């Protein structure tokens, strides 16, 4: 492959380091417009949602025709629901549940272990002492400078058990799971807010994705512009949708479409695997966005994914999960202290992307040795590290995909 074909447009670099997704990526799921998120007057039929998920699982298992499958199990609503329905459909199939335990991070694997045991699954806990160790390999697979690639480790482990990996992806975007930012967005906006004001509020609700001096990260070649960032998001807020539906639209057309799904698909293909995401089936991709917000999100109690929770409750499994969103989450502050700072110092002290005019030398020098660096800056440094590694892998060819970061 011609290396020059892999050089992203400046807008791609800016978007990855500001929004954490790249709208230039080829998508596997349908792109949605505002009319797709117009709420209907109908309530949601929980039995229909359950049947739709079950049908997706059954169809995939029939096509796969294997005796053992794997599932990514975080211990949250989505993966717990999918595991429970697999076991309901296939009482005898062998299930290998995979969870990640990150060093110096909140450990939710005990919750996942209880869930795995409930549904007669073998629970495999991946302990990652240095989450960044195999970043060159992961980036070589996805061919984009992303750093938060826990899916690489999940799939790598999964392929030792089965050729099929099932996940609960899509529940957050289709059924209002990002509750930690909905109330903040509503508090920052009103029905009279302009589309641009809502875009700026939406960005404030993603505070871990950017830093206060975001525009100073970039050098001339990146051509950073807040106007271009705002233009990417404006179509989601320049319409007649209720405010929360506008957020749902922006979330769906964000990381799910242009990060999680295409990146995860590339990793799956690299390991010769098959993936099943039963919540992200055609029926629910159509139904979820049109579902009135009150049937997905309990605003007074700040609880989302109401239809998925209702299915768990109907099957008497609701006690297994909490109202708080769980997931595969690494404590990046502790990662920075244990490995990240040292690795970033090594790679960014003589940075190729600084030398070539993509990233500001002054910004790096100003922040990299700050002993009180907060999580936003840590996340940004890890993003810049991923860009540097990508550059050395594909442009200067100084690195091998088998190199590790210690």
Sign of the four-CA dihedral 214, 3, 266, 250? positive
**CB 15: neighbour CB atoms within 10 A?**
22
Going by C-alpha positions, the residue among 326, 323, 333, 324 that lies closest to residue 105 is 333
What's the full length of the chain, in residues? 406
Q: Which whole number is the average pLDDT over 96-103?
A: 93
The alpha carbon of residue 112 and the mean position of all alpha carbons in its chain are separated, in whole angstroms, by: 19
Average pLDDT over residues 6-27: 91
Question: Worst-scoring range by mean pLDDT, 101-110, 230-239, 276-285, 324-333?
Answer: 324-333
pLDDT confidence bin for 324, thresholds 50/70/90: low
pLDDT in tens, 22-31: 999 999 999 9
What is the reported pLDDT for 238? 98
Contact 249, 37 (CB under 8 A): yes
pLDDT higher than threshold 60 for residue 62: yes
Q: What does the alpha-carbon distance between residue 24 and residue 260 come to, in Å, rounded to a whole number?
A: 14
Residue of 211, 202, 253, 138 lying closest to 367 (CA atoms): 211
Q: What count of other Cβ atoms lies within 10 Å of the Cβ of residue 406?
A: 10
In the prediction, which pLDDT does 103 show?
A: 85
Q: Whole-number mean pLDDT of the chain?
A: 94
Residue 35 has pLDDT above 80, yes or no: yes
Q: What is the mean pLDDT of residues 369-380?
A: 96
Domains and CATH numbers, the chain: 3-9+331-394 (no CATH), 10-330 (3.40.50.620)
**CA dist 58 to 63, 69, 93, Å?**
9, 13, 12
- 207 pLDDT more than 60: yes
| Residue 122: strand, helix, or coil | strand
- For residues 300 and 257, what is the distance between their CA atoms, to the nearest angstrom? 29
- Which residues sit opposite 128 in a β-bridge? 102
Residue 1 scores a pLDDT above 50: no
Quote the pLDDT of residue 2. 38
Q: 328 falls in which pLDDT band (50, 70, 90)?
A: low
List the structure tokens of 297: 């999100």
Model confidence at 244: pLDDT above 90: yes
- In whole angstroms, what is the distance from residue 157 CA to residue 98 CA? 8
Q: How many CB atoms lie within 10 A of CB 364?
A: 19
Q: What is the pLDDT of residue 5?
A: 54
Backbone angles phi, psi at 9, to 5 degrees: -65, 150
**Residue 4 — pLDDT band, cuts 50, 70, 90?**
very low
Please count the helices (runs of H) and the strands (runs of E) in the chain: 19, 5
Confidence of residue 11 (pLDDT cuts 50, 70, 90): very high
- Give the mean model confidence (pLDDT) for residues 189-209: 96
Burial-class residue 318 by CB neighbours within 10 Å (0-12, 13-18, 19+).
middle
Strand-pairing partners, residue 72, are 98
Q: What percent of the chain has pLDDT over 70?
A: 97
- H-helix or E-strand containing 376? helix 375-394
d(C-alpha 392, C-alpha 397), whole Å? 5
High-pLDDT (> 90) share of the chain, %: 90
């Amino acid at each position: 492959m011609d290396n020059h074909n892999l050089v992203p447009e400046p807008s791609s670099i800016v978007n990855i380091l500001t929004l954490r997704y790249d709208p230039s990526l080829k998508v596997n799921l349908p792109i949605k417009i505002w009319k797709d998120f117009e709420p209907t007057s109908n309530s949601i039929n929980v039995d229909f949602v359950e049947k739709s998920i079950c049908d997706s699982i059954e169809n995939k298992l029939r096509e796969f025709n294997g005796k053992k499958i794997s599932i990514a199990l975080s211990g949250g609503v989505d993966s717990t629901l999918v595991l429970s329905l697999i076991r309901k459909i296939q009482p005898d199939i062998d299930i290998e549940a995979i969870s990640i335990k990150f060093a110096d991070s909140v450990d939710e694997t005990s919750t996942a272990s209880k869930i795995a045991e409930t549904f007669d699954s073998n629970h495999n806990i991946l302990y990652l002492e240095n989450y960044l160790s195999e970043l060159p390999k992961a980036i070589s697979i996805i061919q984009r400078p992303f750093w938060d690639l826990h899916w690489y480790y999940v799939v790598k482990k999964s392929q030792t058990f089965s050729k099929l990996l099932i996940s609960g992806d899509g529940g957050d975007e289709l059924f209002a799971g990002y509750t930690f930012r909905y109330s903040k967005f509503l508090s920052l906006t009103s029905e009279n807010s302009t589309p641009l004001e809502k875009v700026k509020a939406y960005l404030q609700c993603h505070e871990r994705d950017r830093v206060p001096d975001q525009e100073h990260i970039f050098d001339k070649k990146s051509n950073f512009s807040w106007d271009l960032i705002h233009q990417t998001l404006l179509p989601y807020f320049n319409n007649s949708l209720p405010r929360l539906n506008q957020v749902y639209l922006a979330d769906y057309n964000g990381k799910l479409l242009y990060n999680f799904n295409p990146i995860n698909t590339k990793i799956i293909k690299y390991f010769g695997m098959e993936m099943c995401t039963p919540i992200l089936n055609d029926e629910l991709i159509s139904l979820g966005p049109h579902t009135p917000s009150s049937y997905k999100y309990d605003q007074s109690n700040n609880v989302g994914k109401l239809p998925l929770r209702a299915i768990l409750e109907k099957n008497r499994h609701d006690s297994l999960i909490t109202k708080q969103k769980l997931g595969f989450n690494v404590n990046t502050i502790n990662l920075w202290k244990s490995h990240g700072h040292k690795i970033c110092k090594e790679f960014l002290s003589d940075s190729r992307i600084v030398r070539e005019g993509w990233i500001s030398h002054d910004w790096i020098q100003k922040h990299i040795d700050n002993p009180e660096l907060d999580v936003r800056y840590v996340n940004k440094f890890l993003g810049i590290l991923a860009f540097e590694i990508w550059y050395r892998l594909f442009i200067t060819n100084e690195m091998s995909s088998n190199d590790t970061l210690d």
